[in-house]
Amino acid sequence: MAYNTEDLTVRFMKSHLARMKRHGNVGVYPIETGIHSNSFYNEVKADFDGVLELKLEEMDGELRRFIRVYRYRGSHETKWFRLLIGPNRDLKIY
């Protein structure tokens, strides 16, 4: 999808999402920001039932990961939570 226009990518995603929903499937689309236009990201976020956002920040010489529920059907908390990945690849969110 990186080599296609934004319009073509959105059309493909909408078609694929419709097929997935029709068959009761669940999917994940990882999308990196900063490459496409803001209107592209807004349209993509509007098409999904839920959107999780991840961010990586450097604080006090340490890289810290954060996660939040940007959008989800129903009520949810939109604040950022700390995301820790342990040495055994276990996840902790607090």
Averaged pLDDT score across all residues of the chain: 91
Q: Indicate the pTM of the whole model.
A: 0.78
pLDDT band, residue 1 (cuts 50/70/90): low
Q: What is the mean pLDDT of residues 4-14?
A: 92
pLDDT of residue 35: 86
The answer for residues whose C-beta is within 8 angstroms of residue 39's C-beta and 6 or more apart is: none
2 DSSP 8-state letter: T
Q: What is the mean pLDDT of residues 16-23?
A: 93
pLDDT band, residue 68 (cuts 50/70/90): very high
